[in-house]
Structure 1
């Protein structure tokens, strides 16, 4: 996403020969190779050096048919390490899929902070039959027990319902756990029930803030009450909601941020959230938030090494020390008696013990990340 937003700068400040922009890296890399071999003209979206100048083949176009992509040849990588080192997989071996590129909320403008809007300004998705076929291959060839689909927002509506029915018909709901990214406002009670039956486990939601003004300003296009309702629906059918939250918005006061901390604690107390990721808000290049911060003079630095979600890079009503403290408070939401008891009572196997242990270590690591 960074090189797509700033391709010339990326070439200028590195020793690479080419920059491929846009999210279709697989199609585009093949095009680059065939161009270098003299077999065809390059597709648009490639930046390259020509003597002392930087040239390009035009603006990238996301016109490729994702249904034509072959399955990833995992024999070429140590694919199993991603799940073991990630920590979010309850059952291993586990692996990733990505059925869509990338989030259908793009049609409504997308979230203002999301860097993936730069890579994927339009939404495309493969057929549900192809994802089920890939899952079958992963189970049979590699013995995979859990799959996380990293599409920005997993398809909803009729696509989702068809996928769930295919999972059930194929018996894969009993073979694997399936997890994915989703968004509030996409699903109803019946969808969550069907997903639980189809073998879904973790659903990753972008909650981001407990303040309605913030939700509106970052274009989440959903109310706080709706988000709480959906977390309740998902947890009641046995799904495990994971929420992402950010601190350090340039318009939020400390009291505003504390509302989000209190909501997180309440969600864990009620059992409506299972896990959480807390970070500091970052206005990545190419996003609407970056443009707004640049225009209003809110950027503190444009040293991209600082844009790692662990420190403030834009001016905010609260200082960096308070932001880090608030982020720590979000992670401390895990340490409530009710939540700890619920997690211990959920243990059914040695795999569950290892999963809870890995999660505890990750939380302690995050607390250390944001220590003063």
Structure 2
């Protein structure tokens, strides 16, 4: 059987503001994982439209397309093209799960929820000549997960080819998160066995890893055992975690000992009222300043995540957030406009209150306002979002953030990482378009290797004032 798997380009990746570095970070692990269930004699290809063109002149027997909200238009276009030729088309992913009836109009078979139980069932049904039109996930386990087909990934096209996922979902229930809709009907957080996760890590070449798990620290017992097993491997790794996880005594230290050098932390908002509104329970009554200090004292770089546009936000939120992040010495920040994705409680609440502006999914990209804000205009929200990025990544801001570090080495690392991420994009553009993103990996490893040890307080240093959202 000839199988073609496609990750269509997100709309924003084809816009005039396309940032090649953002869309050339990670290979499509979800599709490569599904490919592991195919028979050895099946011919399979994986095409990521962010880094290569989709060749539609071929004649596969089966086309599998992963759909996100802002790639839906392109996904349906490709699906319709292949179906018109008589090719069986399967659609799955977050958007398909949220709006299955919409997706079903463009597919022979749709998949709702995770694919570890539904995809093998479909393959068995297909080979028996009786594939169903829809498969809904209910059994949640990674026990029989085959090795990821990394041989199908063009490693040289990605800055972080060694991305890995060892769990599914998240134990938290934030109102704006897609996760609850995607995992409806079964467990919404579960992990591999520690041995299976370590075996997958052991198969990866080089030193650097990036855990793409929604919350690697979500099961403290699993995370602790995983970090114990990784100790001594010589890895340098990055991941995502919550403020609650960072404050968990002992777990962060184990992570650092096993190679953690950078953590994406969901601070989300500096307004306490927003946390209750969005059911972000894990952040309530947490001292964000203590979180940053704890990470910095353990030599871990911080990528702070912030969401603008929650109901307690007014036009002052942008400057206050940026100033706090700079003052804390956060190396990189990721800003988002609150986006009510279909299938979430936030979407339902906005729809009921008639606050949604439209259903043009291409614009649900966390950079465009698609709802009526409570305490500012839509234009103020969008302008503030772009201003926050400009202000945080000005050279003056980068140098101010670097000045919070107690050593010259720490200051230099801060400037190198923050500046390299945002200020050298023309150079990144050349490297990525030449399909040599992987050549930059040694530079990333060299930068990260400077983190991970407790900084000596050899220079006078005044801590910025902490912000508590209690």
TM-score, normalised by the number of residues in structure 2? 0.63
Check conservation: 2:393, 2:418, Cα contact below 8 A: no
Check conservation: 2:331, 2:417, Cα contact below 8 A: no
Segment drifting more, 149-158 vs 209-218: 149-158
Question: Which residue of structure 2 aligns with residue 127 of structure 1?
Answer: 193
Q: Aligned pair 1:219/2:279, yes or no?
A: yes
The counterpart of 1:268, out of the listed 326, 331, 335, is 326
Deviations 1:295-320 (A, max 9, x none): 11110001111211121110013223
Question: Which residue of structure 2 aligns with residue 369 of structure 1?
Answer: none
When you count helix as a share of all residues, which structure comes out higher? 1
Distance 1:285 1:364, change over 3 A: farther
Where do residues 1-372 of structure 1 align in structure 2 (5 Å cutoff)?
1-12=94-105, 14=106, 16-24=107-115, 26-38=116-128, 48=133, 56=134, 59-61=136-138, 63-82=139-158, 84=159, 94-105=161-172, 110-121=173-184, 122-138=188-204, 143-154=205-216, 155-168=218-231, 171-172=232-233, 174=234, 176-187=235-246, 188-221=248-281, 222-223=283-284, 225-255=286-316, 257-258=317-318, 261-271=319-329, 273-316=330-373, 317-331=375-389, 332-335=391-394, 336=397, 337-340=399-402, 345-346=409-410, 356-361=419-424
Deviations 1:18-76 (A, max 9, x none): 2111022x44223222212117x76xxx6x2xxxxxxx45x431x14202112202111
Check conservation: 1:101, 1:120, Cα contact below 8 A: no
Shift of 1:334: 3.4
Distance 1:232 1:264, change over 3 A: farther
Q: Using the alignment, how far apart are the partners of 1:246 and 1:254 within structure 2?
A: 13
Shift of 1:355: 7.9
Deviations 1:271-329 (A, max 9, x none): 2x221111111000000000000111110001111211121110013223321232133
SS in 2 for 1:278: strand
Q: Using the alignment, how far apart are the partners of 1:364 and 1:248 within structure 2?
A: 33
Check conservation: 1:150, 1:180, Cα contact below 8 A: yes
TM-score, normalised by the number of residues in structure 1? 0.78
5+ long unaligned stretches in structure 1: 49-55, 366-372
SS in 2 for 1:322: helix
Whose RCO is larger (CA < 8 A, sep 6+)? 2
Distance 1:251 1:81, change over 3 A: same
Distance 1:152 1:327, change over 3 A: same
SS in 2 for 1:67: coil
Q: Using the alignment, how far apart are the partners of 1:284 and 1:240 within structure 2?
A: 30
Aligned Cα root-mean-square deviation (Å): 2.8
Q: Using the alignment, how far apart are the partners of 1:238 and 1:354 within structure 2?
A: 14
Shift of 1:356: 4.3
Distance 1:232 1:333, change over 3 A: same
SS in 2 for 1:185: helix
5+ long unaligned stretches in structure 2: 1-93, 429-470
Check conservation: 1:269, 1:339, Cα contact below 8 A: yes
Distance 1:355 1:81, change over 3 A: farther
Deviations 1:156-198 (A, max 9, x none): 4222221111111xx21x2x21111111213424222221111
SS in 1 for 2:381: helix
Question: Which residue of structure 1 aligns with residue 26 of structure 2?
Answer: none
Shift of 1:4: 0.3
